[in-house]
Amino acid sequence: MRPFDYRRPASAAEAAADGAETGTAFIAGGTNLLDLMKLEVMAPARLVDISRLDMGEIEQTEDGGLRIGALVPNSDLAADPRIRRDYAVLSRALLAGASGQLRNKATTGGNLLQRTRCYYFYDTAMPCNKRQPGSGCAAIGGFNRIHAVLGASDHCIATHPSDMAVAMRALDARIETLAPDGSSREIPIADFYRLPGQTPHLETMLTPGELIRAVRLPPPRGGRHVYRKVRDRASYAFALVSVAAMIRIEDGVIADAALAFGGLAPLPWRDTRIEAMLIGEAPARELFALASELLVDAAQGRGSNDFKIPLARRTLAAVLGEACELEIAA
């Protein structure tokens, strides 16, 4: 870990201003940042400690949604009665991630900004375009069991590891930020992440110093919420594939559907073609099979991750079946 300046600003505005300086990183929970700093995968010259700023509340918004402070720990968010009742997919996704200890420390804002778990990104002896632009990608042609089959490029095939962000994507969350100049904006999660293309080191649309202040959830959409995570052991492992689903059925047809996917792509994946195919149709096994095929129609395996393609297809079909069944039973 490289030496760094440590600052603890008194306000979010001050933090954003501090953050504008080159080589600065915000630290809140630190569960991923310190992990990477110990390995010098990340080596900020300055840490701006935002952990004590006043951004730890979950509030009702005027439109009937929720505003989740960026510093709300993952465990508190998962246990919040409003989240459990109205946004169950988010609670489920959070509870499927990491461990009790990590969820207590990891924050809502930090979780969105988790870096990939790519083995080669984590190993400074290996080339990695994300860590060191232009050095190459060791995962292509290497061991890539956990890597992306959708949205990857020839420069990077890393996946985004978050469970929470997958649920947020299905929920159409909006990310509220504060820039160093004091301006704030809301970025729909659909526009928040970037695909790797030729610049895999650029992962989000945040500008230098731009601080995530909160995440806004739209009013509850109702329906049945399912989060299914497939992994290599029963707990405490990253997703190979995960599916976040919200399905509402009215009069025997699917009236609303929102689906997002983890483990498959460099960002929490969403494919609105699938939702369009489902809405207005009666739930049926054949329909789910077609929807699942659509999910992977452009998928590309890299060898050790080929299995993710059938796995994603099968998991989505099962999740759709489960959500519809529960919805009909209710």
Partner 1 sequence: MLDIDPRTSILDALRNHIGLTGTKKGCDHGQCGACTVLVNGRRINSCLTLAVMHDEDAITTIEGLGEPDHLSPLQAAFVRHDGFQCGYCTSGQICSATAMLDELQQGWPSHVSADLEAAPDPTDAEISERMSGNLCRCAAYPNIVDAIREVAGGGK
Partner 2 sequence: MSSEFVMDAPDPRNLLDHMAQDLTGAPLDRPEGPLKVSGRATYAHEYRLGNCAYGVLVRATIAKGTLTALGDEAVRGLPGILGVFSDDRFLRNPAQGTADKAPVQGAQTIAYLGQPVALVVADSFEQARHAAQSLALRYAPDADGVFDPESDAANIERPDAKQRDQGDFDRAFADAHATVDSTYTTPAQNSAAMEPHASVAAWDGDRLTLWGGYQMLKYNRNELADSLGIDAENVRILAPYVGGGFGSKLGISPEAVAAAIAAREIGRPVKVAMSRQQVFEATMRRSETRQRVRLAADAQGRLTGIAHEYRVSNLPDESFSEPVGQATHFLYGGENRRIVHEIARVNRTCAGSMRAPGEAVGMLALENAMDELAEQLGIDPIELRKRNLPERHPEQDIPYSSRMLAQCLDEGARRFGWDKRSTKPGTTRDGEWLIGMGVSSAARKNITSQAEARVTLTTDGDAVVETDMTDIGTGTYAVLGQIAGDMLGLPRDRVRVMLGDTDLPPGPGSGGSWGASSSGSAVLEACAVLRRQLADRLGLVADGLVLRDGDIILDNRRIPLRDAMGAGPLEAVGIFKPGKTSQDYAQAAYGAFFAEVGVSSITGEVRVRRMLGTFAAGRILNAKTARSQCIGGMTFGIGAALTEELVHDLRDGHIVNHDLAEYHLPVNLDVPQIEVHFLEERDDQACPLQSKGIGELGISGAGAAITNAIAHATGARIRTYPATLDKLLAVME
Residue numbers of the site for partner 1 (CB under 8 A)? 1, 3-4, 6, 27, 29-31, 34-35, 38, 47, 49, 51, 75, 78-79, 81, 84-85, 88, 91-92, 95-96, 98-102, 104-105, 234-236
- Secondary structure percentages of the chain, helix, strand, coil, to 5: 30, 20, 50
Q: With CB cut-offs between 5 and 8 Å by kind, which of partner 2, partner 1, none does residue 240 bind?
A: partner 2
| Cβ closest to partner 1, residue 14 vs residue 293 | 14
Residue 145 binds to partner 2 (criterion: CB under 8 A): yes
Site string for partner 2, 194-233 (x = CB under 8 A): ------------------------------------xxxx
Please give the Cα distance from 291 to 313 (Å, whole number). 8
Query: What is the smallest separation between the CB atom of 6 and partner 1, expressed in angstroms?
Result: 4
| Binding-site size, partner 2 (CB under 8 A) | 37
Stretch that binds partner 2, among 18-26, 184-192, 201-209, 310-318 (CB under 8 A): 310-318
Q: With CB cut-offs between 5 and 8 Å by kind, which of partner 2, partner 1, none does residue 98 bind?
A: partner 1
DSSP codes joined into one string, 237-306: S--SEEEEEEEEEETTEEEEEEEEEESSSSS-B--HHHHHHHTTSPP-HHHHHHHHHHHTTT----STTT
Query: What is the smallest separation between the CB atom of 294 and partner 1, expressed in angstroms?
Result: 29
Specify the DSSP class assigned to residue 217: E
Nearest-CA neighbor of 111 among 171, 146, 71, 138?
71
Q: With CB cut-offs between 5 and 8 Å by kind, which of partner 1, partner 2, none does residue 6 bind?
A: partner 1
Query: What is the smallest separation between the CB atom of 310 and partner 2, expressed in angstroms?
Result: 5
Q: With CB cut-offs between 5 and 8 Å by kind, which of partner 1, partner 2, none does residue 310 bind?
A: partner 2
Name which position in 123, 172, 256, 293 contacts partner 2 (CB under 8 A).
123
Please give the Cα distance from 182 to 184 (Å, whole number). 6
Q: With CB cut-offs between 5 and 8 Å by kind, which of partner 1, partner 2, none does residue 7 bind?
A: none
What's the CA angle centered on 141, arms 314 and 38, to 5 degrees? 90
Nearest-CA neighbor of 185 among 153, 164, 216, 158?
216
Please give the Cα distance from 301 to 294 (Å, whole number). 16
β-strands 174-178, 66-69 pairing? unpaired
Name which position in 124, 183, 198, 207 contacts partner 2 (CB under 8 A).
124
Which value, to the nearest 10 degrees, does the dihedral of the CA atoms of residues 6, 11, 12, 14 take? -60
β-strands 5-7, 224-230 pairing? unpaired
Residue 146 binds to partner 2 (criterion: CB under 8 A): yes
Alpha-carbon distances, residue 224 vs 29, 87, 96, 105, 319 (angstroms): 31, 10, 18, 29, 11
- The residues that touch partner 2, with contacts defined as CB under 8 A, are 1-3, 38-40, 117, 119-120, 122-125, 138, 141-143, 145-146, 230-238, 240-241, 307, 310-311, 314-315, 317-318
